[in-house]
Structure 1
Amino acid sequence: AGQGLASPRKWVTVGQTERILWGECQGSGSKPYQTQIDLSEPAFKCSCPSRKFPCKHALGLFLMLGPKVGTVTGEPPAWVTAWLATRAEKAAKKQEKIEKAAEAPVDPAAAAKRLADRFGKITAGAADLQTWLEDMVRQGLAAAQTADGKFWETPAARMVDAQAPGLARLVREIPENNGPEWHVGALRKAARLHLVLQATQRLDALPDDLRRDVRQAVGVPIKEEELAPLPAVKDRWHVLGQTVEEEERLKTQRTWLIGEATNHAAPVLEFAYGGQPLKSTLVVGTQFDGELVFYPGSQALRAAIRNRAAETTESHGLAGHATVAAALATYADALARTPWLETFPLALANMRLVKDGENLLAVDSERRILPLEASDARQWLMLSLTGGHPAGLFGEWTGTVLLPRSVWLEGVVHGL
C-alpha cells in the first residue's frame, strides 16, 4: 500500500531533517493528512483514520524520503515540533515514574503475603492438573488425540480460575501443531507440563532463581516496577528478530535483542489489546546503544529497555556461534538449569542453507546440521537471500528445530 504513495505528486508538502521526516498527503477529503516519522526509534504519526500502524501514508513517506536520510530541507512546521515536544514530555514522565518506583517504599511483608496466597491457589490447581495429566497418559495418547475440545478446555479453565494462566496455556498447546507424528509432539509438551507441575508443588525446596522461573512459567507476572532496583546492562543492542502473536484479541510482540559485547540475548515484550496498535519502535536490522534490565531468573530470558540513545543505526549482524556443536552446548547448559525451557535464542555464524526435500537445513563448517522450521515461501526467501553463501543466522531453538528470525550476509541483516 505504501508503494503507491512513494511519489512526490501524491504529497502537498514534504520535508526532512537528520531526525525527522514529514509531509502532507492529499487524501479524499479537503484537508491533507499530516504524516511524520521520528527516525531515532523510529516512531510514526499520521492524522488519517487508519488503524494500521504504521499506516500507508507513513510507509509511502518513508519509501520516498528514506534513501535521502541525512538531507536537511528546512525547519519542521509547528505540527511536527508539537508532536516531538509531546513525545519528549511522555519520555520524561516515564523516566520519572521509573525513578519514583525505585525510590518508593515497598511493604515486603504485604507483597509476600499476596504472593503466598496466590501460590496457595496455584498449588491446589497444579495438584488437580497433575491428576488429570496422569489419567490422560494412563488412558493413552490415542484417546487424547480423538478427544473433543472440551477435554482440553476444562482443565485449562480450571487453571485460569486458580490464577495460573501459564499452566492453562501449556494445556491448550498439547494438541496443537504436532504434525504427522501427533503423539510425539503431544508427549513432549505433556512432559514439559509435568516438569512445571512438579516444580510448582516443590516450590519451597527450589533455589531463588529457579523459583522465579516457576513463577513466570505458571503465569505470575513480574511488574516493571519490580525491575527498578535491579542493575542495568549497558551494551550496543542489535535487533535481530520480531514476532507478533494474537490470542483472544491480545497482541503480543516479541522483539529479540542481542548485546554486541555481552552476547546476551533476550526478547522485549509489548502488548496491545483489541484495535490498539503496537508501538513498533524497534525494527529488525537496526542497533542502538542503551541499557537493558533483565527479568530475574536462572536464564534472564526477558528484558525491558531502561534507557536508549536517540540515534538508531543499521546493524551489520553479529559473530554468533561458530559451530552447531557450540550452539547446542549453550542450549544444553540452559536446559539443565530450566528443564521446561520452551525456546532458546541461538545466533550462528557462517551457516550454509541447504534444501533437503521439503526441509531446510543449516549446515556449519563441520558439516553438522540444524533443521529449520519455516513455511515454503520463507524457505525460498532465505535461500534467495543467501544464494548458497555462508551467512549469519538467528532464531529460536525449540529443542528439535530452529525457528529462523533473521539472516545476515555481507553486513546486511534481513528480518524474516
Structure 2
Amino acid sequence: MIDHLIQLAPDAKTLEAGRRLFYSRRWRLLGGDGEWIWGEFDVGGKRPITSAVQVVRGKFSCSCRARARPCAHNLALVLLLKNNPDRFTVGQPPDWVRSVQHQSGRAPKTIKDTEQAEDRLSARLELMTSGVDELELRLLDVARRGIADTQGQGEESWLSMATRLTDAKLPGLAGRVRRLAGLGAEGTEGEIARTLGDLYLFVRAWRIRDEFPPDRREELYQLAGITTKKDELLGLPAKEDHWLVLGSVSGTEDRLRYRRVWLRGERSRRYALLLDYAFGDFPFEQSWPLSASFAGGVHYYPGSYPQRAVFPEPRPGGRPYDGLKGYPSFQDMLANYRRALGVNPWLLYYPVYLDDVRPVKEGERMKLVDAQGRALPVSADHTGFYRLLAVSGGGPLSLFAEFDGYQLRPLSLLTQLGLAEA
C-alpha cells in the first residue's frame, strides 16, 4: 500500500524532493489516526506547511504552493511512515486536519436547500433560454453570410458570440464557439460546418428538451454547462472494476487549468473520463499517473452514452491489468463511433485503443495507417509524432488516442516496458 502511494508521484523531480524532505529535521507534530497521517514542516519563523495523507485511499492535502499532488511534503510523509513509523504519534487529529477530513466528507441536504436549488435552476434555465434564442439568430446570420464571409470578419465575430453565451450561463457552448476562433485561417470548412451544425442541433433540441427521456435531457444540460452535483452523483450506483490510467490531456484557459484523464475498466471494457479543474497555481485534487491501476467504484454522470465520471475512493490495483485489447482496423473503430454518435450526437472526445497502426509522414501531413492501409490524420497540435516514428521504427504499434470525428490525438503507446506518453 505505502509503495503504491510513492508510485503516485507526478514526476521524478517531485519524488527526489520528497526524499530530501524525508531526511529533514524540520518535521513537527507528526501524527496519525489509522486512516490519515499528518505533519507540520517548519519553514523558519513563518506559518508552517501543513501536510496530510489519507493512506488507504491515496488522497493528499498540503498548504504548499506546488501544483501537483502528491507534492514533495506528501511524499516525505509517506516515506517517513514507511521507514520511521515510530516518529508518528497515534491520536486525535489537530483542527486543520479535521478541516481537511471534513472537506472530504458530504453533508446531507435539507428540504430548504433543495427548494433553493430548484429556484436557482429555474432562473438559470430562463437565462439560458434567452442565450439560446440569440445563438439561433447568430447561426442563421452565419448561414446567410456563408462560412467564408464569416471567417473573413476575423476571430472577433466568434469571440463576441462566445462572450454572450458565457453571460447566458452556457459555458459548454461558449467553449465550442471559442474553439472556432482558435481555428483561424487554418480551420477547414468541414470542421467549422460540423461545429455550427452541432450548435444548431442543440438549439432545436433545447426547444423540446421536456419531451426527452431523463438521460438524454441530462446530456443536453451537460453540453450546456449544467452538471449533476457531486454529492448527488455519489448517491447513484457505482461501476466496480479494475481501472487502468490510459492517458491524460491538460491545458489552461483564462488561468483555469483543466485536465482530462481516461480510465478503462478491465472487466467492463468501459471508458471513464475524469474531468478536473484548478484555478491558478492550485493543485489538482488527485494524481493519476499513466499506466497506474486502481480498484473501486466509478460513478458516471447520467446520460444515454455516459463517459464523464468521478472516482471518489480509488484503491491501489494491487495486480497487473489484463485485457487491454484494441481495434484491429479503423473500419471497426469508425463503426462503433457512428453508433456512439447515434446515441449522443454531441460527443466531443471519443476514446480509442488501436492495435497494429503505423505512423506515417507525408510532406507536412502526419497520419496513422492501419493494417488494411486506411489512414486517418493526426491532430496538428500533437507534439510527439516523431517519438511515435522512433518507437515504431516504421512498424506497427498499439496506442491510445482521442478521436474527434476527423483526426486522432495520440495520448499513450504500448512499449516493451508498458504504457508510455505518446
Normalising TM by the smaller chain, what interval? 0.7 to 0.9
Aligned with 1:167 (options 173, 181, 199): 173
User: C-alpha offsets along residues 15-70 of structure 1, whole Å, 9 cap, x if unaligned?
Assistant: xxxxx9x9xx9x999xx9999998977666788x65343699579989xx9xxx9x
Secondary structure of 2:183's counterpart equals coil
Does the 8 Å CA contact 1:36/1:80 hold for their aligned counterparts?
A: no
Structure 1 pair 149–290 and aligned structure 2 pair: CA distance change class (3 A): same
Q: Which residues of 2 match residues 67-82 of structure 1 at below 5 A?
A: 73-75=83-85, 77-78=87-88
AA of the residue aligned to 1:13: Y
- Distance in 2 separating the partners of 1:12 and 1:165: 44
- In the alignment, the residues of structure 2 paired with residue 375 and residue 247 of structure 1 have an alpha-carbon distance, to the nearest angstrom, of 16
1:407 Cα offset (Å): 1.0
Secondary structure of the residue aligned to 1:392 is strand
Q: Equivalent residue for 1:408?
A: 414
What secondary structure, in the 3-state scheme, does the structure 2 residue paired with 1:301 have? coil
Which deviations, in whole Å up to 9, do the C-alpha atoms of 1:344-386 show, x marking residues without a partner? Answer: 1111223333333333333333333332225574001122233
> CA 1:86/1:333 → structure 2, altered by over 3 Å: closer, same or farther?
farther
Asked if the contact 1:156–1:172 (Cα under 8 Å) also holds between the matched residues in 2, the reply is yes
Aligned to 1:352: 358
Partners of 2:131 and 2:90 lie apart in 1 by: 53
Q: What is the distance in 1 between the residues matched to 2:97 and 2:387?
A: 37
1:140 aligns with 2:150: no
Q: Find the aligned partners of 1:88 and 1:413 in 2 and give their Cα distance.
A: 38
- Matched residues in 2 for 1:223 and 1:326: separation? 36
Q: Residue 126 of structure 2 is aligned with which of 92, 116, 120?
A: 120
Which of these residues, 247, 254, 273, is aligned with residue 248 of structure 1? 254
Structure 2: which amino acid aligns with 1:289? A
2:44 and 2:152 mapped to 1: Cα distance? Answer: 54
Report the secondary structure of 2:268's partner residue.
Answer: coil
Q: CA RMSD in A?
A: 4.4
Aligned pair partner of 1:207 in 202, 206, 213: 213
Alignment match, 1:265: 271
- Aligned residue in 2 for 1:17: none
User: Structure 1 stretch 209-218 or stretch 368-377: which is displaced more?
Assistant: 368-377
AA at the equivalent of 1:94: S
Are the equivalent residues in 2 in contact too, given 1:193–1:340 (CA < 8 A)? no
Instruction: Confirm or deny: 8 A CA contact 2:172 2:224 kept in the other structure.
Output: yes
CA distance in 2, matches of 1:232, 1:60: 30
SS in 2 for 1:414: strand
User: Partners of 1:126 and 1:9 in 2: how far apart?
Assistant: 54
Offset from partner CA, 1:168-212 (integer Å, 9 cap, x none): 222222232256354332222212211111211221233322211
Q: Which runs of 5+ in 2 are unaligned?
A: 1-10, 25-35
In structure 1, what is the Cα distance between the partners aligned to 2:166 and 2:394?
Answer: 48
CA distance in 2, matches of 1:79, 1:275: 32
TM-score by length of 1: 0.79
Assess if the C-alpha contact under 8 Å between 1:317 and 1:408 holds in 2. no
> 2:316, 2:101 → 1: CA distance?
11
Change in 2 beyond 3 A, CA 1:89/1:129 = closer
Shift of 1:343: 1.8
Counterpart of 2:401, as a letter, is G
Structure 2 residue aligned with 1:94:
104
Alpha carbons 1:37, 1:58 under 8 Å: kept: no
Among all aligned residue pairs of Structure 1 and Structure 2, give the percentage whose two residues are the same amino acid: 28
Runs of 4+ in 1 over 4 A off after TM superposition: 1-12, 32-47, 54-62, 71-74, 79-83, 85-93, 104-114, 310-317, 374-377
Is the contact made by 1:196 and 1:214 (CA closer than 8 Å) also made in structure 2?
Answer: yes
1:40–1:405 Cα change, 3 Å: farther
1:360–1:371 contact (8 Å) kept in structure 2: yes
| Aligned counterpart, 1:335 | 341
Moved more, 155-164 or 178-187: 178-187
- Candidates 51, 68, 74, aligned match of 2:66: 51
Letter in 1 for 2:416: E
Q: Structure 1: which 5+ runs fail to align?
A: 15-19
Larger CA deviation: 120-129 vs 400-409: 120-129
- Residue 23 of structure 2 corresponds to 13
Matched letter for residue 87 of structure 2: P
Q: Which moved more, 1:3-12 or 1:347-356?
A: 3-12
Between stretches 179-188 and 215-224, larger displacement belongs to 179-188
Q: Describe how 1:149-298 pairs up with structure 2 within 5 A.
A: 149-177=155-183, 180-298=186-304
Distance 1:38 1:362, change over 3 A: farther
Cα distance in structure 2, aligned partners of 1:231 and 1:126: 33
- Aligned counterparts of 2:61 and 2:104: Cα–Cα separation in 1: 20
Counterparts of 2:19 and 2:298, CA distance in 1: 43
Indicate whether 1:362 and 2:345 are aligned: no
